[in-house]
Amino acid sequence: MRPPLFPRHPAVTWLARALGGVVLALGVFGHAMALEINTATEAQLDGLRGLGPSSTARILKARSAGSFTGWSDLMARVKGIKPATAASLSAQGATVQGQPFTPEAR
């Protein structure tokens, strides 16, 4: 198993979340920016509200077996990612295969 990109010290985790959230929220020219789950870094995933270190680790582990084909694939392969969480992540700019979550994407 690959070691984490940064130590799991509370101050480091907080800073990564804060910076990831600012970058994600502002994007270019102040517009919301998409964050592709299939290519996002650990720090970028940690910056999303609703994902903690364990959720991020589960996403990265599942993604190492292959890219997610859609939101339904993500929810099937990652424990704890349900429609409500997917909707929240999508509202923050997260996409899978470039697509936002929609209830029909289940």
Is residue 99 classed as helix, strand or coil in its secondary structure?
Answer: strand
22-77 pLDDT, tens digit per residue, is 444 444 444 456 899 999 999 999 999 999 999 999 999 999 999 999 999 999 99
Select the more confidently predicted residue: 16 or 97.
Answer: 97
pLDDT of residue 24: 45
Average pLDDT over residues 85-92: 95
How far is 15 from 38, CA to CA, in rounded Å? 23
pLDDT of residue 12: 56
pLDDT of residue 2: 53
Q: If we measure between CA atoms, which residue out of 28, 21, 27, 10 comes closest to residue 50?
A: 21
Of residues 44, 48, 58, the one with CA closest to residue 86:
48
Mean pLDDT of 2-25: 53
DSSP string, 14-82: HHHHHHHHHHHHH-STTS---EETTT--HHHHHTSTT--HHHHHHHHHHHHT----SHHHHHHHSTT--
Residue 36's closest CA among 87, 85, 77, 95? 95
Q: What's the confidence (pLDDT) of residue 31?
A: 42
**What integer pLDDT is reported at residue 104 of this predicted model?**
73
